[in-house]
Structure 1
Amino acid sequence: MVGNASRGRLHVEVRRQGASTVVSPSGELDHHTAELLREPLEECAGRSGARIVVDCSRLDFCDSTGLNVLLAARMIAEAAGGSVHLAAMTPVVARVFEITGAGAVFTVHDTLDSALAE
């Protein structure tokens, strides 16, 4: 699956790379833009055994709505025997995961390459 969606402050690209689906949001992930990520992420997560890597390297901001989108996708993926990995978080996004403790429920990789190599 290859595709993309954008609405002003958030652009989302989806592509297959090896055994993984890479979802790359860029811009601001918040209440107003979360649906742009939710739809492709949940579609991918619902596939049996899906391995999703969210490349966070171009994500400038993530609020609680964005965090909930990622957590919901993780739950959907795990219920279908799959997984959601986070890669290359920017410091501002990593801080949200640190403050909330949500980083403990994801497999987090320093780089996209390391996430794909696993």
Structure 2
Amino acid sequence: MDRGTAGSAHRGRLLVEVRTEGVSEVVTPAGELDHHTADALSTPLDAALEQGRSRLVIDCSRLEFCDSTGLNVLLSARLKAEAAGGGVHLTGLRPVVARVLEITGAEAVFTVHPSLREALSG
């Protein structure tokens, strides 16, 4: 596994870890993704895309909450990644986050993987 870059950002109730593995940028938000913390996730996602990392794997296994603002961050990243020739891959969806995707129909526009290992190999 390539661990060429690593970092983290923390804003209030959300900690975001970022690392590079192969051709993927793995972004792991931990905590609550909402109006107050959305920038803590959107900033590293935008930075990855600006650096040419268009295959974004978002490991949601530590994400405890996601509201509509958080969902908009994910949808925006997906559009930007696809415009750059990549995509957003979600993994580790907890029931509360999976439910937000299901209710809104957003699950249909993301590639969802059952494990991080599968997200990185796919």
TM tier relative to shorter chain: over 0.9
Q: 2:75 aligns with which of 71, 85, 93?
A: 71
Contact 2:28–2:60 (CA<8 Å) still a contact in 1?
yes
Question: So what's the TM-score if we normalise by structure 2?
Answer: 0.92
Distance 1:33 1:49, change over 3 A: closer
**Any stretches of 5+ residues in structure 2 without a counterpart?**
none
RMSD, aligned α-carbons: 1.2
Question: So what's the TM-score if we normalise by structure 1?
Answer: 0.95
1:8 is matched with which residue?
A: 12
What is the deviation of 1:46? Answer: 3.9
- How many residues align structurally? 118
What is the deviation of 1:49? Answer: 6.2
Q: 1:105 aligns with which of 105, 109, 119?
A: 109
User: Equivalent pairs: percent with the same residue?
Assistant: 64
Contact 1:14–1:21 (CA<8 Å) still a contact in 2?
yes
What is the deviation of 1:117? Answer: 1.5
User: What whole-Å deviation, never above 9, does each CA across 1:46-95 have from its counterpart, x for those lacking one?
Assistant: 45462110000000000000000000001011111111100110000000
Segment of structure 1 superposing worse, 80-89 or 57-66: 80-89
2:43 is matched with which residue?
A: 39
User: What whole-Å deviation, never above 9, does each CA across 1:9-63 have from its counterpart, x for those lacking one?
Assistant: 1000000012211000000000000000011112213454621100000000000
